[in-house]
């Protein structure tokens, strides 16, 4: 501090008495790089590609959504008559085509096994909550996006573990490409020296004692010690108790029954659809009523368009635009009426699809030609609803515009929603009914009616469905129906099916559960404790039962030195992590995960603490303060049990000073060199008990 005073007065000098200290950095902050349903905080897509810190599943679900629902779970119901009593059996099988997105389930395993704060990097979205520049992902075709996510992670300092939950689901990926992704992660770990990579095998083979997936890992992961020491591999995959998320509206049931009464329910339901007073055609008439062409146009669609152009009660879009709260309220009332009718139409469309699919499924064995004709007629019917600028999409857009219009609080915003924005009421309504708007709806020629083909196409589908009557031989009333329909028809069966689906085991790669184990062990004991001989939560069993002889080849690789940690099931103990080695399993210096991760922690903690001394005088005063700071930190680690030695001086040393770690040239070059040595405790991997006979002495 300055000691020269020139103006008379009282001066205060604060004298530093406390030494600087080292704060231990977090040790188990994983970064999960993969695909999510969405990536939204305040506006759509504002979190895509941005490493985002979360601390619970609730936060994950809020910002990144849920798992993509399964649609191919196979459900079979079989009714038989035994001694005059009906007996029903239900069989639920694994999805035939599983969704490739594992991020959500991996986070469940992470938190279930003791995980805490972590980072999520969304490299693609499979939901529909997307911004204008985003594209919905339906499959993972390559690892490019995951590699880009790894690059985004490099910009963030806090994460200490790297995981790729979805990497094993990249379609048709080769072992070379798969492990190249992990080699890139190991390279980042080597360069930054503050993180560690958890590695899954590309797959597993439960039928082979020499699983080729293990040799693929060893043949493709980098053999250099400076890379291998920053990663650990675990095997095999885990059979978990997690529940699949599924879409009940897309899961179709097979129902075999001695009663063969499938068509009876179909007949009842199509009668509701074709009811002349309340059915689908009545709803279409409410939406658009073209009395003559040209002539008087009426209906819910026209009423909304008229209100937009009417100069008295509407917005006068064709003249001088003006709006008032009363006009806005009246307009929204008209839009709500339209949305109600469109909602009814959507319900009829869904019902018709359900009945047509049920009818097709019912007769496909007895008469494939009729089944094909039903499918063809239904496809034609759906063309007016599904696709770009079709009824379903316009309905969704109008609902979104309606929500925005309710929130519009200025005349400009209202005008933009009506006919200025890229998506506006005028353009959407013209996709349903196109004509030149006037202040009256008399004498207008319509150039487009999106609903014009519905009555004829509906009649064609119903005609084909009715051909099924009398042909069914072995199907029950639930055959061909979606799971969502069953609740209303047979609630007891519905609940039994849900129970069976919940009992389906889900297989996952082990890395996410292992990340949770790392976090739990770090919090309970310390980063210096080997994360092994620890039980796994939410795990039924490993997918491969590993024996001692098989683990010999996993734990000790005499050729390349790449150890693979086993996960094993032990009678009376459960499922345990039974390995604690890095990939550099033959290296005495960096063999153990706990040693490598402790050094990561100590190096990063000391590095951050010594940053305060950058540009300080490179002299004895600074050296003493730095040495004392590091000594205090390592003494605390020794007391916690992280360092081996009966006294601190036997557990570690800290050297800094001229003639000790630096030359005069080093000081002239602005270098302050500190040498730290630590005897980190190592796990007792092999406990050897030696027994021998003792001669009788008395």
Tens-digit pLDDT profile for residues 396-438: 999 999 999 999 989 999 999 999 998 999 999 999 988 877 6
Q: What's the pTM?
A: 0.84
Strand, coil or helix: 134: coil
Q: What is the per-residue pLDDT across 584-606, written as a single tens digit (0 to 9) for each?
A: 988 889 999 999 999 999 999 99
76-102 average pLDDT score: 92
Degrees (nearest 5) of the Cα angle 404, 410, 413? 45
Q: Is the pLDDT of residue 543 over 60?
A: yes
Helix or strand holding residue 196 (H, E): strand 196-200
Element housing 347 (H / E): helix 325-363
Please give the mean pLDDT across all residues of the chain.
91
pLDDT for position 379: 96
Average pLDDT over residues 514-518: 97
Rounded to an integer, the average pLDDT of 366-386 is: 94
Query: Rounded to 5 degrees, what are φ and ψ at 276?
Result: -65, -25
Q: Omega of the bond prior to 681 within 30 degrees of 0, cis?
A: no
Quickly tell me which residue has 């006068």 as its tokens.
316
d(CA 509, CA 514): 10
Percent of the chain with pLDDT over 70: 97
**Residue 522 three-state SS:** helix
4-18, 151-165, 297-311, 662-676: segment of lowest average pLDDT = 4-18
Q: How many other CB atoms are there within 10 angstroms of residue 224's CB atom? A: 13
Radius of gyration of the chain (CA): 35
Task: Give residue 345's pLDDT.
Answer: 96
Alpha carbons 522 and 429: distance in angstroms, whole number? 60
Whether the CB-CB separation of 316 and 309 falls below 8 Å is answered with yes
What was the pLDDT predicted at 488? 83
Does the structure show a pLDDT above 90 at 11? no
- Mean pLDDT confidence for 275-290: 91
∠ CA 568-569-570, nearest 5°, is: 115
Average pLDDT for residues 271-277, to the nearest whole number?
A: 94
User: What confidence category does residue 533 fall into, taking pLDDT thresholds of 50, 70 and 90?
Assistant: very high
Widest CA span in the chain: 126
- Whether the CB-CB separation of 557 and 591 falls below 8 Å is answered with no
Asked if residue 681 lies in contact with residue 643, where contact means CB atoms within 8 angstroms, the answer is yes
Strands 564-570 and 674-678: unpaired
Q: Say if residue 293's pLDDT is above 70.
A: no
CA distances from 640 to 306, 460, 521, 648, 680 (A): 78, 79, 14, 12, 12
Query: What's the angle, vertex CA 415, arms to CA 414 and CA 418, rounded to 5?
Result: 90
Tell whether the model's pLDDT for residue 291 goes beyond 90. Answer: no
**Residue 309 vs residues 337, 418, 444: alpha-carbon distances, Å:** 18, 10, 14
Tell me the pLDDT tens digit for each residue of 214-267.
999 999 998 888 999 999 999 999 999 999 999 998 999 999 888 888 888 899
Higher pLDDT, 293 or 228: 228
The pLDDT score that the predictor gives to residue 567 is: 96
pLDDT at 685 over 80: no
DSSP bridge partners of 254: 76
* CATH of range 30-212+219-244+507-577; options 3.40.50.11780, 3.90.1200.10, 3.30.70.940, 3.30.70.1350: 3.40.50.11780
């Amino acid at each position: 501090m300055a000691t020269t005073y020139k103006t008379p007065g009282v001066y205060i000098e604060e004298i530093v008495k406390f030494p600087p200290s080292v704060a231990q950095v977090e040790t188990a902050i994983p970064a999960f790089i993969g695909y999510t349903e969405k990536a939204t905080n305040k506006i759509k897509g504002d979190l895509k590609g941005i490493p985002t810190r979360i601390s619970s599943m609730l936060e994950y679900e809020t910002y990144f959504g849920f798992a993509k629902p399964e649609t191919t779970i196979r459900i079979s119901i079989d009714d038989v008559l035994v001694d005059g009593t009906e007996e029903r059996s239900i069989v639920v099988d694994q999805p035939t085509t599983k969704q490739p997105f594992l991020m959500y389930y991996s986070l469940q395993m992470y938190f279930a096994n003791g995980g805490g704060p972590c980072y999520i990097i969304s490299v693609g979205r499979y939901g529909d909550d997307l911004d204008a520049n985003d594209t919905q992902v339906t499959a993972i075709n390559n690892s490019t996006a995951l590699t880009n996510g790894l690059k985004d992670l490099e910009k963030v300092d806090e994460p200490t573990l790297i995981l790729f939950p979805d990497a094993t689901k990249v379609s048709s990926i080769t072992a070379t490409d798969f492990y190249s992704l992990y080699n890139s992660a190991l390279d980042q770990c080597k360069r930054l020296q503050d993180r560690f990579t958890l590695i899954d095998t590309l797959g597993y083979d439960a039928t082979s004692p020499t699983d080729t997936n293990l040799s693929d890992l060893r043949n493709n992961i980098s053999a250099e010690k400076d890379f291998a020491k920053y990663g650990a591999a675990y095997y095999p995959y885990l059979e978990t108790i997690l529940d699949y998320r599924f879409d009940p509206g897309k899961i179709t049931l097979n129902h075999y029954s001695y009663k063969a009464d499938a068509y009876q329910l179909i007949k009842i339901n199509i009668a509701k659809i074709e009811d002349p007073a309340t059915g689908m055609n009545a709803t279409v008439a409410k939406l658009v009523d073209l009395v003559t062409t040209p002539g008087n146009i009426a209906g819910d669609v026209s009423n909304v368009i008229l209100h937009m152009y009417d100069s008295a009660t509407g917005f006068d879009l064709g003249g001088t635009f003006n709006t008032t709260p009363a006009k806005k309220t009246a307009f929204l009332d008209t839009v709500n009426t339209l949305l109600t009718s469109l909602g009814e139409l959507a319900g009829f469309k869904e019902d018709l699809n359900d009945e047509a699919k049920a009818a097709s499924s019912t007769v496909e064995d007895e008469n494939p030609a009729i089944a094909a004709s039903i499918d063809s007629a239904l496809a034609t019917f759906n063309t007016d609803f599904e696709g770009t600028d079709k009824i379903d999409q316009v309905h969704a857009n109008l609902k979104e515009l309606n929500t925005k219009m309710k929130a519009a609080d200025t005349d400009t915003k209202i005008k933009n929603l009506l006919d200025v924005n890229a998506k506006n009421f005028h353009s959407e309504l013209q996709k349903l009914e196109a004509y030149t708007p006037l202040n009256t709806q008399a004498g207008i020629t319509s150039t487009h009616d999106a609903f014009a083909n519905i009555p004829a196409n509906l009649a064609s589908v119903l005609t084909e469905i009715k051909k099924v009557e009398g042909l069914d031989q072995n199907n029950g009333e639930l055959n061909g129906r979606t799971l969502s329909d069953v609740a209303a028809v047979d609630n007891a069966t519905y609940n039994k099916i849900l129970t069976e689906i919940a009992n389906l085991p889900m297989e996952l790669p082990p890395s996410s559960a292992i990340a949770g184990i790392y976090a739990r062990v770090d919090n309970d004991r310390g980063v210096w404790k080997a994360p092994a001989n620890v039980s796994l939560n939410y795990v039924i069993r490993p997918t491969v039962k590993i024996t001692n002889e098989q683990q010999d080849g996993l734990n000790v690789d005499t050729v390349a030195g790449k150890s693979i940690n086993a996960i094993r099931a032990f009678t009376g103990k459960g499922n345990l992590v039974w390995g604690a080695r890095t990939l550099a399993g033959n290296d005495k210096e960096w063999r153990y995960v706990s040693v490598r991760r402790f050094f990561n922690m100590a190096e990063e903690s000391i590095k951050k603490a010594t940053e305060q001394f950058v540009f300080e005088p490179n002299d004895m005063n600074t050296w003493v303060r730095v040495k004392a700071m590091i000594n205090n930190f390592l003494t605390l680690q020794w007391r916690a049990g992280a360092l081996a030695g009966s006294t601190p001086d036997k557990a570690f040393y800290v050297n800094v000073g001229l003639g000790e770690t630096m030359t005069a040239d080093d000081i002239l070059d602005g270098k302050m060199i500190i040498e730290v040595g630590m005897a980190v405790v190592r796990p007792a991997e092999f406990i050897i008990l030696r027994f021998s006979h003792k001669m009788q002495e008395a």
